Structure 1
Amino acid sequence: MSGKFPTRGVLPVVLAAFACGQAFAAEKVSVRLNWVPGTEHSFLYLAKEKGWFAEAGIDLDIIAGQGSTVAVKTVGAGETPFAIADVATVARGWEAGVPLVAAAVLLKESPTVVYSLKAKDITKMSDLCGKKVGINIKSTTSEQYRAMVRLANLKNCEIAEVPVSGGGSKELLSGAVDAAVIFSYEDPAQLLAKGQELNTIPASQYFKLYSLSIITNVETATKKPVLVESFVKVAVKGIKYALANPEEAKQSFLKLAPEADVAYERLKFDMFSKLLAGDESAGDSIGTSTAEGWSNSLKVLRDLAIIKAEIDPAGKFVQVQ
C-alpha cells in the first residue's frame, strides 16, 4: 500500500460529476483529533466551512480527541475512518498488529521540547542535572525525553522524574518541577501567551522523525481509496490556505469556540504553522512522505526504545499526489 494510489484518474471524474450537478449523496465521514480542538486543527474547520469537503462528497464530522493512543485504537477498530495521531503511537500500533495506514504526514519533525522558566537558566540537557523534570508517563514524549538524556551522554548526572498528568505547566509555575516535557505548541505556548519567558530544548536537536500524521485503517485504504485521496487532498488544501491566510484560519476555529483562550490559541496557531511549513513558507511538502523517511523514523523509534520490533514501512503508508 506504499507508493501512489492506483486511482489518480478517478478523483477528477468524481469531482467533475459534482460540478455537473449529478446527484451524489455525500458520505458521512468522521475524523478524530489527536487532542481537544484548537487552532492547530483550524485547517479542518476552515475546509469544512468553505465547503471543500462537501464538494469532495464528504459530510465531515470532527470529533474531539483524547490523545494519539485513543485515535490509533478507534481507527484500527474501524470506529472512525480517519484520525490525527503521533507517529510514535502509530508505530506502537503497527507493532501490536493494529491495521493502520498513514495517509499523510503533517509534521516532519517531533515537536517535543523540554521547557522551563527562563529564570531557571536551563538551556541545555546538562543543566537538568540535579533538577526535577515533569513527565507524562502516558505520553510518548516521556520516551523522547529519556532518549534526549541518553543522547546527551551526561556523566554523573542525576535527574528526578516527576509524574505529571498534563503538560507540566502547573507544576512548573508552582515550583514542583524545574522543567517539563510536552509539545512546543501546547503548555509552553500557554505560558508564553501569559507573558512568561521560557527556555526550550527541542528533541529535534537530537533526532529526526516524522510526527503528527493523518491515519486511516487498512480496510478504508483498500476498499475506499478515492475517499482517502479526497480527504487528504482537501485537508492539505486547507493547510496551505491556512498558512497563506492565518487570520481567517484562526477565526474559523475561534468563532466556534467562544470560550477559548484567544491569546493562547492565536500563538499556538503561529507556532504550529511553523512546524507544518518547516523550511518552506508555502508548505509544499505537507502531507507527503517517503519510504526512506519512514524507514528512518521507524529506526529512530526503535533506537529510542519506543518500539522494540523492526518494522518494514512497505504497505503502511500511502502517497497522495
Structure 2
Amino acid sequence: MKATLTTLTPVHIGNGTTYNKNIDFIQSENKIGIIDEKKVLNLIGTENINQWVSAIDKGGNEFINLLKQRGWNNELEHISSRICELKNTKTKSTQLKEQYRTAINGACIPGSSLKGAIKTCIFDYLTSDDDFINQRKIDDLKTWKDSKDFKTGNNIRKNEKWSDSKTDNKIFGKTANEKSTRFLKIGDIHFGNINTDIINIGILNKYYEKWDFKTGQQYYAESIPSGATANFQMKIDTILLVKNIEKYPSLWDSKKTEPFNNGVENLCEIINGSTISSLNFELATLKNENIDDNIKHTIINILKSLILEIENR
C-alpha cells in the first residue's frame, strides 16, 4: 500500500561522507555551500590546480583567499553543487556530515532505517507484556563474565548487562527466516530535490551530577527538514505470515505475530503508543536532572509538542 511519511523533527541519515570547512564546504552567514569541483576549476583554471591543492594543505582561509584572488565575490552558487540553510549561525562547527541521497531521487530515508525504528517500537510493545517476558528466561537475555570468589569459592557474575543480540534472538527469532519482522516490507522514502537544512549536533553528556555539552565534539548535519512529506510503499505480507503459521506453528506464537495481524493501521497505533511512552519517560527523567535551565526548557517544550502532535493524529 502507498503510505505517507511526514517528519516531525529534522532527520539526518548519514551516507558516511564527512566534509571539512573551507575545503569541502564554505559557510557564508546562514548559508552553507557544498563545493562543486568543476565550478571551482572553471573559476581558477585547470592550470592552477596545484594552487588549490596547496591552499587545502595550508588550511585556514587559504582556499577562500585563492577563490577571491580569482574573482569570487562570496556568491556561493558560483562554486557550489547545492546550498543549504544553516539553522543556528552561532555555532562554530568545522565538520559537516552529508545526508544520504540517491542520484535520481534526492534526499532519502532508507526503508531499512525506518524498519529499524519500527522494530524498536515493536520490541517495546512486546516487552511491556509480562506474560510474554515470563515465558522467556531472563538469563537468556543477558551476558556476563564468570569470576570465582576467593573467599567462598563460588562463581560470581561480572559486567552483567543486557545483550542486544540475545534479546533480538529471543524476542524476534534466531534466524532471518524466524524473525517476525520479515513480514514487514518498507520501501525507501524519497524526498526528491527538497532543500535540506544544516543543523548543529552537540553531545549532551553527564559529568558527575551535571549535564553539559562536550567541548569540541559538535558537528553540522545535513538534514531533511521537519514537516517534509513523501510517499513510500509499506506492506505487511499477511499471506506469507499465515502460511508460515500453518506450516511452522511452533515458531510463531500469537503474541510474537500480534503486531502484524491487524494491518498497517494497527501497527501504526503500536508505533505511536511506544513513541509517546518513550517521550514521556524522557520528559519525566529530564525534569529531575541538573541541566542548564535554558537547555532543559527547550528540550521539555520540544518533547511536549511532539507528544501533543502524535496524540492529535
Please classify the TM superposition score into its range, dividing by the shorter chain length: under 0.3
Structure 2 length normalisation: TM-score?
0.26
Normalized per residue, the structure richer in strand is 2
The TM-score, its normalising length taken from structure 1, stands at: 0.25
Bigger relative contact order, structure 1 or 2, given CA contacts below 8 A and separation 6+? Answer: 1
